[in-house]
Structure 1
């Protein structure tokens, strides 16, 4: 103890860094632990008080997640994937306030002209080395942070709103394949989110912008699955799903940040239902438990909304293999955006229904395709093609009525992506 006090002359003499019952070796260990705690404390202080740190609010979500956990409002972010570009600090002041008046900063525009790094939509008269302020849109930069960028490189909210409107207008274009359009819009909307994040813009206008970007990723989810089946399209779909999950989770938290007087936003219930529907494809028990906990965080107006009731019924029917309830509920209640998420599972459930009918039917009583069309909610002309895709043969009688012989042993659920079949809603 005398040795300890000599090393720390300014320390009160009656305070010890080790319990009095400890041996000499324990005293050394205690000093090491104290030193480690000090270093950790210094590190944490520096981490959360460094004004030059990246304040992007979409990636490093530990701050707001802890804050909401203490308030009993923690969202379970099972769908969120790590990305080096995004972080989450709703409660921190903005590091920078953008002053760039154009959709693309002048310095970046000039550099990309020199490098001929212009998307087809940004080229002036088709020239890959020439653009203009009305065409060029700022690209996403993974290394962008408040430490490295100046105000002139960041677009303020009004410019970001106009940029988003301009970028999303390309979705109606018929001149280029959707994959080309998606590649451009995907990158530029990500850059918009980055500028919102670095300025810590979390107001109602940011909510509206995030809703539009979630819509874009949701529609892309459907179109990329129904488009080219190449490996490039598959990769694009995977990346789109990642950003759909990240953008949606940020949107759900923006709803909470802008909550006032207990009211809910006009589209809030529907966007919450997307989070549930995106869990359909997971067989992980952990995901199911996380979703159960997530339900407990929802406010009563949201959980009781027709959109959330629909999503919960769909989830229950899917996990119980209730194909009739699943298909009929979609046909009666699904919105267009909800169907964009659900469409990949519709044919999966149809194949399950076909398997039950084939295995459970009577061999001497073929199942009429007209009845199968009503059950599977498909055009009768497409039912035969669907049966053949599942390895089942059909037959016809002398009157031209087609039916499905049951008890066939050749049934197999198609591998990979199904051909797209129309969804016939009951009138």
Structure 2
């Protein structure tokens, strides 16, 4: 016998029952407290800011209770709140903000699954969630593992991205005159998210220019064409640049391995550091020298000497933010970046 579909009745971001319970148990997050009560023995819940937290599946009855489930419109409102209001807070370190948003977005996804929300509504909810994970992968890439786990973030990114692409496929199977088919703007978004999947899985995997660029970038990675890979990164939309740039440490390691053979010099043949900086997207000469030193190569003031026997490829250098990406991120509204047209 097929289970009856559950429809949510909770019209706020968090069920009243959960708010009271978390307030009593002192489980409110600092971002959910009434300002000024944070340090009191029992902080007060700000009902306009409390967001339903993620619950393990063991809490079966709670998860299936319609009074604890938020319908699609409320879920979308919740996502917009998290990615417009919360994402910009500067009262606490951003990795803590990330942990809060990630947990609350997991709860949103949980409500979606329990209610089996239709794909046309799920698409609008999932798109900004995917962009949040993509943006966070870059912003927190220099944080220690205790603050940010890139593997967990990538797992959530791919999980949401795959589900989103499946929803796009569902829409594509509808008849041309169906009102549920994607419109032109949504189709362009589909290309962007398909491209994001390629970039996230660079090396594993012709319609739209972004998709073509991303496919070329993925093939460049697979073929060890490090110069082309770096040139293509600069042509991508900023959301994709954030993810593609994370491959640079491995790209540079492979590049140094190839160059240690191609430019192997026992006669002190010099390779210009400035050229190396431009080829591999280093921010400055100091970063180039540090990377060369990391892999065992000796540098002069302006050049590096590639000697095959000096190369130590047993390790990969850590990722450093790119100035040209950071410069763009300084000029854009984070909310616009992750919400796209849903703000």
- Say yes or no: TM over 0.5: yes
Q: Does the 8 A contact of 1:179 with 1:233 survive in 2?
A: yes
How far, CA to CA, are the matches of 1:421 and 1:168 in structure 2?
Answer: 22
Which residue of 189, 192, 196 maps to 1:267?
Answer: 189
Per-residue deviation, residues 196-229 of structure 1 (Å, max 9, x unmatched): 22222224342122100000111112223222x2
> Any residues of structure 2 matched to 1:146-225 within 5 Å, and which?
149-169=64-84, 170-225=86-141
Does 2:36 match 1:120?
A: no
Counterpart of 2:220? 317
Report the alpha carbon displacement of residue 239 of structure 1 after superposing the two structures with TM.
Answer: 1.8
Partner residue of 2:288?
Answer: 383
Structure with max Cα Rg: 1
For the 8 Å contact 1:392–1:408, the answer to whether it is kept is no
Of the three residues 254, 260, 271, the one matched with 1:367 is: 271
TM-score with structure 1 length normalisation?
0.66
Distance in 2 of aligned mates of 1:324 and 1:269: 25
Consecutive unaligned residues in structure 1, runs of 5 or more = 1-48, 53-94, 282-287, 292-302, 397-401
Over 3 Å counting, the alpha-carbon distance change for 1:323 and 1:220 in structure 2 is same
Q: 2:314 and 2:93 mapped to 1: Cα distance?
A: 27
Aligned partner (choices 352, 359, 378) of residue 254 of structure 2: 352
Q: CA deviation at 1:321?
A: 0.8
Residue 146 (structure 1) shift = 7.3
Alignment partner of 1:339 is 2:241: yes
CA distance in 1 between partners of 2:31 and 2:142 (Å): 24
Give the match for residue 50 of structure 1: 2
Corresponding residue to 1:137 among 51, 69, 73? 51
| Contact 2:202–2:219, Cα closer than 8 Å, also in 1 | no
Instruction: Please give the secondary structure, in 2, of the residue aligned with 1:225.
Output: coil
Instruction: State the Cα RMSD in Å.
Output: 2.4
Partner Cα separation in structure 2 for residue 108 and residue 343 of structure 1 = 40
CA contact (8 A) 2:271 2:303 kept: yes
Q: With the length of structure 2 as denominator, give the TM-score of the two structures.
A: 0.81
Q: Unaligned stretches of 5+ in structure 2?
A: 326-343
Distance 1:424 1:137, change over 3 A: closer
Q: Evaluate the alpha carbon distance shift between residue 98 and residue 226 of structure 1 in structure 2; reply closer, same or farther with a 3 A threshold.
A: same
CA contact (8 A) 1:369 1:380 kept: no
User: RCO higher in 1 or 2 (8 Å CA, sep ≥ 6)?
Assistant: 2
Residues 421 and 410 (structure 1), Cα distance of their counterparts in 2 relative to 1, 3 Å cut: farther
Structure-1 separation of matches of 2:61 and 2:21: 20
Aligned to 1:406: 306
Aligned residues of 1:204 and 1:258 also touching (Cα < 8 A): yes
Moved more, 251-260 or 175-184: 251-260
Q: How far apart, CA to CA, are the structure 2 residues paired with 1:151 and 1:364?
A: 74
